[in-house]
Amino acid sequence: MKKTIAAILAGALCLTALTACGGSKTDSAAADSSSAAAGDDKTITVGATPTPHAEILNAAKDALKAEGYTLNVVEFTDYVQPNTALVDGDLDANYFQHTPYLNNFNKENGTDLAAAFDMHYEPFGIYAGKTASIEELKDGAAIAIPNDGSNETRALLLLQDAGLIKLKDGIDPTSDATKLDITENPKNLDIQEIAAEQLPRSLADVDLAVINGNYALQADLNAAEDSLITENPDYAKVYVNVVACRSGEENSDKIQALKKALQSDDVKKYVDETYKGAVVTVF
């Protein structure tokens, strides 16, 4: 693995510091500010996780400015508040989640958020912690995976592809699986379910970790370069990251302007050159 544990921890600590030091605009003052901006016909307020989503949005600012819009990006470091803020009207849209997560959020919370348009997918990877390779894993080794429904399924499928476990029949990328669905675990692996944003930080304490693409990037990890194994592209494409809005607003002027700017050749070039395979556009 090309990144040291120390470097990973430094990246993870930077992520934590975003919340502690105000780098994440999730406090009440920021919410009030974004709410006011969301009511402005010429300001488009979008919630996003810092990497890569906020970075990609910022790459589209000039294109939106040329169309007469100001883009206001509000950063979040978790997967719940961006949807809550969108439901509450504090945002015009958000950009951080894939379709299965959005569908699951609507189901669990009785909300009606919609995928306005597709943007990219981020391949999951298995990263080395205390153990340097999959082949060196010992009996009882600890593996950390994300604990939210759709991403846990995704992580378990990757562990199955790596030959470490076997899941019961019928588990596919659209399922809502947990470690209780493991039918074979020949190495008696200790599968630890952890909040997705904490996974990079966990690497020092576990043998391996399956990490979401955005949180890997924030910890200076690239699935295409640093992971021991990456996700099957056919699975990864199921988890296309979308720009979401309130249902019924998909064809609004703001959302259509945002779509035009984000699905541009300039943004595609930015993504390809910046993330080098860790973020793959679908437009």
List, in sequence order, the alpha helices (H) in the chain. 5-20, 28-38, 55-59, 61-66, 81-87, 99-109, 149-161, 199-202, 213-218, 223-226, 233-236, 253-262, 265-275
Encode pLDDT of 12-59 as tens digits: 433 333 333 223 344 333 444 454 456 679 999 999 999 999 999 999
Task: Label residue 163 left, alpha or beta by phi (over 0 means left) and psi (-120 to 50 means alpha).
Answer: left
Same fold, 22-122+238-281 and 124-232: yes
Measured in whole angstroms, the distance separating CA 196 from the mean position of its chain's CA atoms is 9
Position 39 scores a pLDDT of: 61
Write the DSSP symbol of residue 52: I
State the fold for domain 124-232: D-Maltodextrin-Binding Protein; domain 2 (3.40.190)
Q: How far apart are CA 17 and CA 50, in angstroms?
A: 13
Digit-coded pLDDT (tens) for 206-242: 999 999 999 999 999 999 999 999 998 888 888 999 9
CATH classification code of 22-122+238-281: 3.40.190.10
**Average pLDDT score over residue span 76-94:** 96
147 burial level (CB within 10 Å; 0-12, 13-18, 19+):
middle
Residue ranges covered by each domain of the chain: 22-122+238-281, 124-232
pLDDT of residue 148: 86
What single letter denotes the amino acid at residue 51? T
Taking only the tens place, the pLDDT of each residue in 150-196 is 899 999 999 999 999 999 999 988 888 999 999 999 999 999 999 99
Query: Residue holding tokens 């470097």?
Result: 7
- Name which residue leads in pLDDT, 267 or 32: 267
Question: What tens digit of pLDDT does each residue of 235-266 get?
Answer: 888 899 999 999 999 999 999 999 999 999 99
Tokens found for residue 250: 């998909």
